[in-house]
Structure 1
Amino acid sequence: MMTLLAIFFPSLSFLLRGKLLTALLCLILQITLIGWIPAAVWAVLSLQNARADRRNAKLIKVVKSK
Structure 2
Amino acid sequence: MVMIIICFLAPWLAMFLRGKIFQGILCIILHLTLIGWIPATIWALIVTQREKSA
Q: Please state which band the TM-score falls in when normalised by the shorter chain.
A: over 0.9
* Unpaired segments ≥5 residues, structure 1: 54-66
Alignment of 1:1-66 (within 5 A): 1-53=2-54
- Percent identity between the two aligned chains: 42
TM-score, structure 1 normalization: 0.77
Cα offsets for 1:23-53 (capped at 9, x unmatched): 0001011110000000001001110011111
- Deviating above 2 A after TM superposition, structure 1's stretches of 4 or more consecutive aligned residues are none
**Using CA pairs below 8 Å that are at least 6 residues apart, which structure has the higher relative contact order?**
2
RMSD of aligned alpha carbons: 0.6
Aligned residues: 53
TM-score, structure 2 normalization: 0.92
* Unpaired segments ≥5 residues, structure 2: none
